Amino acid sequence: MDIRNHYILMADYNQRMNDQVYTASSKLDSDQLGADSGAFFSSILGTLNHILVGDLLWLSRFSLHSARYHSLKGLSALPRPKHLNEILYPELVLLVKARNFVDGTINQWLNEEIREDDFARGLVYANSQGVVSERNFGELLSHFFNHQTHHRGQVSTLLYQHDIDIGCTDFLIDIPDVIKD
């Protein structure tokens, strides 16, 4: 398995799933999106904001891993989250714009700037409580994508409670079929 191509594939999956989740979410009104549903981040809107907050925090850390990561610097135009439960965008239409910008940036970064040897190096970072760690960058990137998948699954359940199915969530359909005709 080519690790760089794996992460590019994960970014494509991430973008497809975010498109599906946001399209499904747009079928609800603002009261439904913001209603406390007993989820860890309260509501659909709260959970979608949390996913974006997590992405912005990690991408900010990742931007320090290499001077080549120019595309990640563009994310500084977005709000800088201070808390994991922060509502950066209280309206879905604004959240969609930010999400699309971030997803495009992730894809650009992985397709144009990241190199195979980046994955093996450690990344020193401070978590949201200020605790400093150094961990393998490739594994942190896996955590980044896994975090998104985990919380999108929660949103999928919340949407299903409104009789909204987000469609196929299988990563399998993004994996190219290697059988040649």
| pLDDT tens-digit series, residues 103-154 | 999 999 999 999 999 999 999 999 988 999 999 999 999 999 999 999 999 9
Known binding residues for a divalent metal cation are 50, 147, 151
Q: Which domain holds residue 136?
A: 3-174
Most distant CA pair in the chain, distance:
54
- Asked if residue 66 belongs to a domain, the reply is yes
- Mean pLDDT confidence for 5-18: 98
Provide the pLDDT for residue 180. Answer: 67
pLDDT at res. 71: 97
CA distance 124 to 23: 36
Q: Which residue, among 85, 94, 57, 82, has the nearest Cα to 72 in the 3D structure?
A: 57
| Residue 8 pLDDT greater than 90, yes or no | yes
CATH number of the domain that 124 lies in?
Answer: 1.20.120.450
CA atoms within 13 A on the CB side of 140: 25
Count the domains in the chain. Answer: 1
Residues at the binding site are 50, 147, 151
Q: Tell me whether residue 114 is in a domain.
A: yes
Task: Tell me the two tokens of residue 92.
Answer: 């879905």
Q: Is residue 181 part of a domain?
A: no
- The predicted model scores a pTM of 0.95
Check residue 114 and give its pLDDT: 97
| Per-residue pLDDT tens digits for 19-63 | 999 999 999 999 999 999 999 999 999 999 999 999 999 999 999
Encoding tokens for residue 167? 């469609």
* Cα-based distances in Å from 39 to 31, 73, 84, 146, 177: 16, 32, 14, 18, 37
